[in-house]
Amino acid sequence: MAEVANFKAIGTRPIRPDGVEKVTGRANFGADLNLPDMLHGKVLRSPHAHARIKRIDLTKAQAMEGVYAAISSADFPQEVTSSLSRNILARDKVLYHGHALAAVAARTPRIAEEALARIEVEYEVLPPVLTLDDAMREKATLVSEDLRTNDDENSPPSNIAATQRFERGDVTKGFAEADVIVQEEFRVPSAHQGYIEPHACVATSNPGGRVTVWCTTQGPFEVRSATAGVLNKTVSDIKVIPSEIGGGFGGKTVVYFEPVAVRLSELTGKPVKMVMNREEVFRATGPASATLCKIKVGAKKDGRITAATAWLAYEAGAFPGSPVGPGCMSVFAPYDIDNFLVEGYDVLVNKPKVAAYRAPGAPQSMHAMECAIDELAQKLDMDPIDLRLKNAAKEGTIAPYGPKFPPIGLVECLEAAKRHPNYVNKTSEEVGRGVAVGFWFNIGMQSSAEVNIAEDGAVSIMEGSPDIGGSRASMCLMAAETLGVPYETINAHVGDTESTGFCNLTGGSRTTFATGLAVVKACEDVIAQCKARAAMTWELDVEQVDWRDGQAVPKPGVNIDVEPLSLADIAKTMSRTGGPLLGRASLNAQGAGACFSVNWTDVTIDRETGKVDVKAFTAIQDAGRAIHPAYVEGQMQGGAVQGLGWALNEEYIYNENGVVENASFLDYRVPVASDMPMIDCEIIEVPNPSHPYGVRGVGETPIVAPLAATSNAVRDLLGFRINDLPLSPPNVLAAIDAAD
């Protein structure tokens, strides 16, 4: 591990290479592409949350002037029966309001809209299942008549798709030893990722079966495999070109209409463009799960936790696959607890299939646990940070989900919080303060990178991870550090699925870690080649050549009087020494270090309106090593604001028919700049030993703690707890009125 003092590029804050294009509006996002002779695709969506499809008649739509194709699920390979294929276009049943069931391609978007209105669908309307309580009760209406819990053929059909259970020690004995016990239930509503750019794609096809898809996505290779799966094609039939991306946060890790655009293009022989409007985004793309979490925690008088249980139910939407697993694995992750039991339930309801949203599963379960810890601190009259320090996980602690933690930075974050001036400066009586801890596992997975050296020594990186949060700059910084050349001589490019090696999606806080590792190794490949060419030039053995400060030099003790050869020097003569310099690396990165955070929120409450105002927010987080500190802070601030929005206002409001009544940014209230104070950040650096520069992923963890930190702040000010989110004005006012 290199020492921080030796870094020249890492830890600096240069401007991002893609910045000019983005701030001047030149960057091309998903909806910006237009091709000659292009058609416009539109999707017909269900007006019912739950209904059997008795008949779809496309003939009137197909007969319209300007309509080139109208399709339903019958136009897709019937042997493909995956949830994804049935989410993209419903088959026998529509499972949520907004579920796609037909699509058209027409000369203009308006003709396409008119054609949708001419599609005749006969439904048998069924009662919708809209809440966890309804879905889990005996004799509940079934979302899917074939679903059995954990695929157990001996079980009766159920809305519970899967269960989870983690257990250690003896919780009965642990609670018997406790001096204080807290037991509470918490509900967190569905929240949308709220990316500004809606889903958009353009698909073309040729008669040979080859297709090209341009789209906004976090993972072009995942779009390729998902599209191939739904259409029963091979991945080599499909090329996916990612556009710039206007936010994803997990919501652009799945496909919704890319296979539909491809099918329409195949049937019409023309390019087909599809763009969602905001209402479609809210009604038909995955939000985060709504949850019900029951927590019980017991502790001794000195604060040591003796036992804890968690019962966690997560809405999956209309198809199995909520993030209840990570929710279960993360709920007690910050703490060293000898006796615990965690039970989780993945539950179907007649709502859109949930999708990943920053640290998927963790914000909801950890909201419950961090609120319970706060209650415990109140009962024990302990400082909430001291209580957490008393029980904090550290290197060697066996994580609740099994493995031992390698070096982690939770204790360092808590200690930094205790001495932080924002924490030391106590709030006034009009201000409530709440503390919470955040956690995310982080992941590695597969990445590839190529590093090309131009004849003037300029460096060009080609990789396949869409740049959501400034990863191009981070790649350039790691390349600059490794090669020893100025940041300004390096460019990073995100390739398509045929111009770069395989990269898993940008998500799970993996890109700076895993794709960064590939870039470092590709640079090391270039260095090895440079050393060989310098050795050739100097008539030395390659073992006699070193690479220092961006130059090839003879190793100490080698008796030769030569001038060092810079990367530019070697590039200038590369045609003579073996041809172009090209470094490559591909890997399946392991050892993504877990990331912890500590946040606290200071709030005031207008007791007449119930409005909660965030007056100050402080985020402390272990980044392992901050490659570009400004972008680490950007992740911390962005995650904090999304978490605060979830805590304070964001929720899906359904009517009794399962129709979302706030499917626009006017009624679904995300925080805007004027709602927020400056988010103060402090980066802690406990290097991850599995990365040459110590990187940990930083993008997921920041959304986790703000939910409970805000709940705890409101509890501090009101003197009683509001267990359910959001802490919106009507909910807070009702709680105040009830307490009065």
How many Å is the maximal CA-CA distance in the chain? 89
Within residues 296-335, the interface with another protein by CB under 8 A covers 323, 325-326, 329
Alpha-carbon distances, residue 672 vs 267, 599, 641, 677, 728 (angstroms):
43, 20, 9, 10, 15
The single-letter DSSP state of residue 73 is G
Residue of 73, 87, 164, 728 interacting with another protein (CB under 8 A): 164
The token pair that represents 4 in the structure block: 């921080």
In terms of CB distance, is 256 or 547 closer to another protein?
Answer: 256
Stretch that binds another protein, among 107-115, 262-270, 439-447, 626-634 (CB under 8 A): 439-447
Residue of 591, 662, 677, 736 interacting with another protein (CB under 8 A): 591
The nearest distance, CB 1 to another protein, in angstroms, is 17
Note whether 617 binds another protein by CB under 8 A. no
Task: Locate the DSSP E strands across 540-655.
Answer: 545-548, 551-554, 565-566, 581-589, 595-605, 612-622
Note whether 148 binds another protein by CB under 8 A. no
Rounded Cα distance, 520 and 451, in Å: 9
The single-letter DSSP state of residue 256 is S
Q: How far is CA 672 from the centre of its chain?
A: 21
Residue of 98, 303, 320, 508 interacting with another protein (CB under 8 A): 508
Task: Locate the DSSP E strands across 305-431.
Answer: 305-317, 340-348
Note whether 340 binds another protein by CB under 8 A. no
Note whether 634 binds another protein by CB under 8 A. no
In terms of CB distance, is 326 or 554 closer to another protein?
Answer: 326
The nearest distance, CB 405 to another protein, in angstroms, is 7
**Residue closest to 479 by CA, chosen among 509, 506, 449, 503:** 449
Query: If you write DSSP's letter for every residue of 298-325 in order, what string do you get?
Result: EE-TTS-EEEEEEEEEEEEESSS--THH
Residue of 590, 609, 655, 664 interacting with another protein (CB under 8 A): 590
**Residue closest to 650 by CA, chosen among 641, 659, 437, 198:** 641
The token pair that represents 255 in the structure block: 């496909």
The single-letter DSSP state of residue 138 is T
Rounded Cα distance, 685 and 279, in Å: 42
In terms of CB distance, is 250 or 658 closer to another protein?
Answer: 250
Note whether 510 binds another protein by CB under 8 A. yes
Number of amino acids touching another protein (CB under 8 A): 48
Helices 705-718 and 629-648, packing angle to 10 deg: 50
- The mark string for 462-501 relative to another protein (x by CB under 8 A, - otherwise) is ----------------------------------------
In terms of CB distance, is 610 or 639 closer to another protein?
Answer: 639
In terms of CB distance, is 76 or 314 closer to another protein?
Answer: 314
Note whether 253 binds another protein by CB under 8 A. yes
The nearest distance, CB 726 to another protein, in angstroms, is 19
At 740, the amino acid letter reads D
Stretch that binds another protein, among 156-164, 305-313, 469-477, 558-566 (CB under 8 A): 156-164
In terms of CB distance, is 41 or 326 closer to another protein?
Answer: 326
Residue of 259, 384, 501, 507 interacting with another protein (CB under 8 A): 507
3-class secondary-structure state, position 531: helix
In terms of CB distance, is 69 or 686 closer to another protein?
Answer: 686
Strands 291-299 and 272-275: unpaired
In terms of CB distance, is 266 or 336 closer to another protein?
Answer: 336
- The mark string for 341-370 relative to another protein (x by CB under 8 A, - otherwise) is ---------------xxxxx----------
Rounded Cα distance, 409 and 416, in Å: 10
Number of residues written out for the chain: 740
The nearest distance, CB 194 to another protein, in angstroms, is 12
CB 685 within 8 A of CB 623: yes
In terms of CB distance, is 405 or 654 closer to another protein?
Answer: 405
How much helix, strand and coil, in percent to the nearest 5, is found in the chain? Answer: 30, 25, 45
Stretch that binds another protein, among 250-258, 416-424, 458-466, 709-717 (CB under 8 A): 250-258
Beta carbons within 8 Å of 659's beta carbon, 6+ residues apart: 49, 97
Residue in the block written with tokens 């809305």: 159
Within residues 254-293, the interface with another protein by CB under 8 A covers none
The nearest distance, CB 288 to another protein, in angstroms, is 9
CB 246 within 8 A of CB 195: yes
Note whether 647 binds another protein by CB under 8 A. no
In terms of CB distance, is 406 or 578 closer to another protein?
Answer: 406
In terms of CB distance, is 404 or 555 closer to another protein?
Answer: 404
In terms of CB distance, is 59 or 588 closer to another protein?
Answer: 588
3-class secondary-structure state, position 45: strand
- The mark string for 678-717 relative to another protein (x by CB under 8 A, - otherwise) is ------------x------x-xx-----------------
The token pair that represents 351 in the structure block: 């709502």
Beta carbons within 8 Å of 684's beta carbon, 6+ residues apart: 409, 412, 413, 416, 620, 621, 622, 623
In terms of CB distance, is 162 or 261 closer to another protein?
Answer: 162
The nearest distance, CB 697 to another protein, in angstroms, is 8
Residue of 403, 421, 557, 579 interacting with another protein (CB under 8 A): 403
Beta carbons within 8 Å of 570's beta carbon, 6+ residues apart: 457, 530, 533, 534, 552, 577, 581
Helices 362-380 and 384-391, packing angle to 10 deg: 110
Note whether 55 binds another protein by CB under 8 A. no
In terms of CB distance, is 161 or 305 closer to another protein?
Answer: 161
Stretch that binds another protein, among 305-313, 398-406, 425-433, 567-575 (CB under 8 A): 398-406
In terms of CB distance, is 248 or 692 closer to another protein?
Answer: 248
CB 108 within 8 A of CB 125: no
In terms of CB distance, is 109 or 591 closer to another protein?
Answer: 591
Note whether 250 binds another protein by CB under 8 A. yes
Within residues 175-234, the interface with another protein by CB under 8 A covers 193
The nearest distance, CB 321 to another protein, in angstroms, is 10
The token pair that represents 686 in the structure block: 């406990």
The nearest distance, CB 18 to another protein, in angstroms, is 21
Phi, then psi, of 51 in degrees rounded to 5: -160, 150
In terms of CB distance, is 436 or 592 closer to another protein?
Answer: 592
Strands 612-622 and 595-605: antiparallel
Work out the number of other CB atoms within 10 angstroms of the CB of residue 232. Answer: 12
Stretch that binds another protein, among 56-64, 165-173, 369-377, 662-670 (CB under 8 A): 165-173
The nearest distance, CB 699 to another protein, in angstroms, is 8
Torsion from C-alpha of 304, 306, 311, 316, nearest 10 degrees: 50
Any bridge partners for residue 461, and if so which?
451, 492
Note whether 405 binds another protein by CB under 8 A. yes
Any bridge partners for residue 267, and if so which?
none
- The mark string for 106-145 relative to another protein (x by CB under 8 A, - otherwise) is ----------------------------------------
**Residue closest to 122 by CA, chosen among 62, 58, 41, 43:** 58
CB 195 within 8 A of CB 249: yes
Note whether 249 binds another protein by CB under 8 A. yes
Which residues of the shown chain bind another protein in the complex (CB under 8 A)?
150-152, 162-167, 193, 248-251, 253, 323, 325-326, 329, 356-360, 401-406, 440-445, 507-510, 588, 590-592, 690, 697, 699-700
